[in-house]
Amino acid sequence: MIIKTTKAIPSHEITDEHVFKARRTLIKSLFAATLVGNSQSLLAQTNSARWQRLTQSDLSAKTLTPTPAQLVKEYTNYYEFSYNKEDSTKLAQALTVDPWSIEISGEVEQPGKFYLEDILSKQTLEERIYRFRCVEAWSMVVPWVGFPLVNLLNMAKPLSSANFVKFTTTQQPDAMPNLRSEAILQWPYIEGLRIDEATHPLTILAVGMYGDTLPKQNGAPLRLIVPWKYGFKSAKAIVKIELLKKAPLTSWNRSAPDEYGFYANVNPRIPHPRWSQNSERLLGSGFFTSRRQTELFNGYGDQVAGLYNDMDLRHFF
Ligand code: MTE
């Protein structure tokens, strides 16, 4: 049975009704109040040893040029709506993203339902400019706005028996036409991480991009971003997080285990069975989209290679 924590008391029970009804506005104002303007101030803020190492890398805006926002907003993969990128962008506008809560359960001391505005009121939002590499061999550079996933996990107090984290995303049958068919994927869309991957400082929950709240088609109101893994790991519109002893079965891995692994770390040396992963189309780079050499761990090897041993390397895909 889920025991509600104080933090899990629904906001409508503790928030003035007028404020409660203006939830989206409230979230926007929290967003504005807590956003750290750029990655320089983000780096200046932090003093953990792991973050210190990041200052040596190219995570700052200085070396990564964001892909034009319009392109990121229009070229989306959101299969609950459509397998066509333009259609999923249009159809996703029917999604209801307010109110929003996330249920956290499993191997935690304090399971419960956490309302988005309560979560955000405790966060300092940061801008993270990350490379984003899709398994389809295209890539983008996106200035996400969010906070480390570990901050939310800690609100539920994970137990030492938590080895994996499972993410379940929203199902809204009236808005999502593809939920009627399970020919390609089974619903809901599920993803998972090992606990050390989930608590790594590079792993964030994004609530915005390009300095504004997240568009519906890009995963509003809150999505996972794991920059060293193929994009399908970065689940959109998360409603449930379970901390587990064993690895969860994830959507793409279940649907095509020979093509999509649980780890899905970006690796140019391991081709997809139907195409090479050696290079990628960097969207929006100049008049013509250019190709760039794909990097192991999408270029984040300095930060994450230490998470994996030889045994894991065999499961890279
Ligand atoms: N999350 C959900 N719920 N449904 C999806 O279809 N697609 C994934 C991932 N998260 C997907 C999802 C895939 S395949 C990719 S590449 C990225 O979202 C795309 O994110 P973007 O559309 O914001 O570029």
Whether residues 168 and 23 share a domain: the answer is no
250 CB near ligand 1 (under 6 Å):
no
67 CB near ligand 1 (under 6 Å):
no
Q: 260-270, pLDDT tens digit by residue?
A: 999 999 999 99
The best mutation among 75, 232, 240, 266 to test binding of ligand 1, ranked by most ligand atoms within 8 Å of the C-beta, falls on 232
Has residue 291 got a pLDDT over 80? yes
pTM of the model: 0.86
Whether residues 255 and 230 share a domain: the answer is yes
Provide CB contacts within 8 A for 228, sequence distance 6+. Answer: 202, 265, 266, 297, 298, 300, 301, 303, 304
297 CB near ligand 1 (under 6 Å):
no
80 CB near ligand 1 (under 6 Å):
yes
Percent of the chain with pLDDT over 70: 77
The pLDDT value given to residue 30: 61
59 CB near ligand 1 (under 6 Å):
no
Provide CB contacts within 8 A for 144, sequence distance 6+. Answer: 127, 128, 129, 130, 204, 206, 208, 209, 225
Q: Quickly state the pLDDT bin for 290 (edges 50, 70, 90).
A: confident
Whether residues 33 and 101 share a domain: the answer is no
Q: Quickly state the pLDDT bin for 9 (edges 50, 70, 90).
A: very low
The pLDDT value given to residue 279: 97
**Ligand 1 geometric centre to CA of 49 (Å):** 31
User: Could you tell me the residue range of the domain that residue 15 belongs to?
Assistant: 10-48
Mean pLDDT of 275-283: 95
Query: Does residue 5 fall inside a structural domain?
Result: no
Q: Quickly state the pLDDT bin for 202 (edges 50, 70, 90).
A: very high
Whether residues 222 and 251 share a domain: the answer is yes
Whether residues 144 and 23 share a domain: the answer is no
**Ligand 1 geometric centre to CA of 143 (Å):** 16
- pLDDT, greater one: 248 or 46: 248
The best mutation among 77, 170, 189, 230 to test binding of ligand 1, ranked by most ligand atoms within 8 Å of the C-beta, falls on 77
218 CB near ligand 1 (under 6 Å):
yes
Query: Does residue 4 fall inside a structural domain?
Result: no
Q: 50-84, pLDDT tens digit by residue?
A: 333 343 344 444 579 999 999 999 999 999 999 99
Whether residues 30 and 115 share a domain: the answer is no
Whether residues 246 and 302 share a domain: the answer is yes
Query: Does residue 2 fall inside a structural domain?
Result: no
Beta bridge partners of 148: 204
Q: Quickly state the pLDDT bin for 96 (edges 50, 70, 90).
A: very high
Whether residues 61 and 43 share a domain: the answer is no
Q: Are 167 and 150 in contact (CB under 8 A)?
A: no
Q: What is the CATH number of the domain that holds 71?
A: 3.90.420.10
SS (H, E, C) 53-103: HHCCCCCCCCCCCCCCHHHHHHCCCECCCECCHHHHHHHHHHCCCCCCEEE
Mean of per-residue pLDDT scores for the chain:
85
Has residue 281 got a pLDDT over 70? yes
Query: Does residue 136 fall inside a structural domain?
Result: yes
Query: Does residue 15 fall inside a structural domain?
Result: yes
Query: Does residue 281 fall inside a structural domain?
Result: yes
Q: 150-192, pLDDT tens digit by residue?
A: 999 999 999 999 999 999 999 999 999 999 999 999 999 999 9
Which is the closest atom of ligand 1 to the Cα of 79?
6
Residue minimizing CA distance to atom 10 of ligand 1: 235
Residue minimizing CA distance to atom 5 of ligand 1: 78
Whether residues 168 and 30 share a domain: the answer is no
Residue minimizing CA distance to atom 24 of ligand 1: 76
Residue minimizing CA distance to atom 11 of ligand 1: 78
**Ligand 1 geometric centre to CA of 79 (Å):** 7
Query: Does residue 1 fall inside a structural domain?
Result: no
| Domains in the chain, number | 2
CB atoms within 10 A of CB 309: 8
Whether residues 161 and 80 share a domain: the answer is yes
Whether residues 39 and 138 share a domain: the answer is no
36-50, 83-97, 112-126, 240-254: segment of lowest average pLDDT: 36-50
Residue minimizing CA distance to atom 21 of ligand 1: 76
Whether residues 183 and 81 share a domain: the answer is yes
Query: Does residue 314 fall inside a structural domain?
Result: no
231 CB near ligand 1 (under 6 Å):
yes
